[in-house]
Structures are given as structure tokens and as C-alpha cells.
Amino acid sequence: MFSKSNFYFTFAKVINFYEMDTKKVIFVSFFLFFSLAIFAQNADNKNIASEKKSYAIIETDFGNMKVLLYEDTPLHRENFIKLAKSGFYDGLLFHRVINGFMIQGGDPDSRDAQPGVMLGNGGPGYTIPAEFRPARFHKKGALAAARQGDAANPQKESSGSQFYIVQGKVYNEAIMQKIAAQMNKTFSEEQIKAYGTIGGSPWLDNDYTVFGEVIEGLEVIDKIAAVQCGGADRPLNDVKMTIKIIEE
């Protein structure tokens, strides 16, 4: 295999051979310099190509959702991967479902919970610092972290395990402008376009951390959101989940 040491040895021999001809030395030097630069660039391109993205496969009786986990929210991403790989989420419920808004799960107390029991206060015993990113917002399919309200949680730290997936509604530009004025928010063109087409929950932006998005299985959100619910928005018939992590 051609190594850098062999390269520099060959380079030195060439320079010596042409040491009496300055123009040739300069030409060969530039030729070998650019050859090395191209070699390094190709190596970098291979490294980039070899980087894989992490996805969560959320399996339910209503179908599966494939979720891309964002790399620019590393605290939430790594925590979610850790819990999923440990089997933490397997057998838990989507314990809070609001049609036209979102489906929520990840409470460890929901495993084998009796019918009618109020859920939503469980967790792994820690919270995660907020990771708000302007490019990550609550369009339909967004995966976001649940949390306690501002009064008890002014830093807006996320639950260590509970999450929700946005269903939301479609809002035209006029309504988006009203929401922006009422909540003192500014929405980008990308947000306005997304909320006007696939929909979402724009009032949650920059208040709850979005750390992924459903890229396959958006229809599963609608199916789960349509189930009949009782008190505290808990489905009357349990909606269980299993979560696996894959890299592609």
C-alpha cells in the first residue's frame, strides 16, 4: 500500500534529480503537491460517505414509523438511542393521544398499567437540557421531548424518556401571522410552508426540543390519533410500542 513516507521519499528523489533545473523542480513540486491534495480529499470523501445516520423504528399494532434522529441535538439523540437499545421503551404505551395535536409515550409507569390509571408522571429519574434549534420545528411527524411546565421547569428541560410525535393541523399564512403576533414568535419561510402543507403545532416551537422526524409511516400517526380515548386522553384500548435503533 502506498504510504505517506514512501510518497515523501519519492518526492525527495525527484527533487534531487532535478536540482539543477529550477523550472522542472517547481513544476514537479506543484504536480506532486496537487496529487497529494487530491489523495487527501478522496480519503475525506470516503470518510464522509462511511458516516451512517441513526434511525428509530417505532413498532405498533397500527404499523411502523421510521424516525430520523437529528445529529444537531446530540444529548436527546444519544439518550433516546441508549434507552431504546436497553429495551426501556418496549411494551410501553402511547398513554396520551389528542387527535389533531399529537401522540405521547415513554412513561415507564405505563408498562402493564391497569385500565383507567392516570399516566404521564414517570421517567428514568433525570432530565435533559433543552436543545432548541431554529431549523427543528413542530411540523407533522416531528419527534419531540415532553417536559414539565414552565412554572416548575423554567429552563425547559426535557423529560428523560417521555416523547411525543406531532400530528397537528394545517395553518394557512394568515393564521400563521396571527399565531406569530399572539405568541411573539417569528416563523421562517420553511416553517410557514410546512405548516401550510403537511401541518403541525407551531405554537410549541422553541419551547420543546425537537430531536427527530418521522420519514416513513406518517399515516400511523393519524391511525393512533383517531383511537377512542377516556380520561386524561388515555386510549381506551392500549397502544403499545417497541422501539429499535438502526444505522444506515
Closest Cα partner for 221 from 157, 121, 144? 144
pLDDT of 11 > 50? The answer is no
- Banded model confidence at residue 23, pLDDT cuts 50, 70, 90: low
Beta-strand ranges (E) seen in the chain are 54-60, 63-69, 94-98, 102-105, 127-128, 142-145, 158-159, 163-166, 210-216, 242-247
pLDDT of 15 > 90? The answer is no
Lowest mean pLDDT among 14-23, 187-196, 234-243: 14-23
Distance separating the N- and C-terminal Cα atoms of the chain:
29
pLDDT for res 13 = 47
pLDDT for res 51 = 80
pLDDT of 97 > 70? The answer is yes
Q: What's the rounded mean pLDDT across residues 173-198?
A: 96
pLDDT for res 205 = 97
Q: Quick: pLDDT tens for 210-222.
A: 999 999 999 999 9
pTM of the model: 0.81
pLDDT of 190 > 70? The answer is yes
- Banded model confidence at residue 66, pLDDT cuts 50, 70, 90: very high
Lowest mean pLDDT among 35-44, 53-62, 150-159, 230-239: 35-44
Asked if 32 contacts 179 with a C-beta cutoff of 8 angstroms, the reply is no
Torsional sign, CA 100, 106, 109, 110: positive
Residue 142 C-alpha cell reads as: 416531528
Q: Which residues pair with 25 in a beta bridge?
A: none
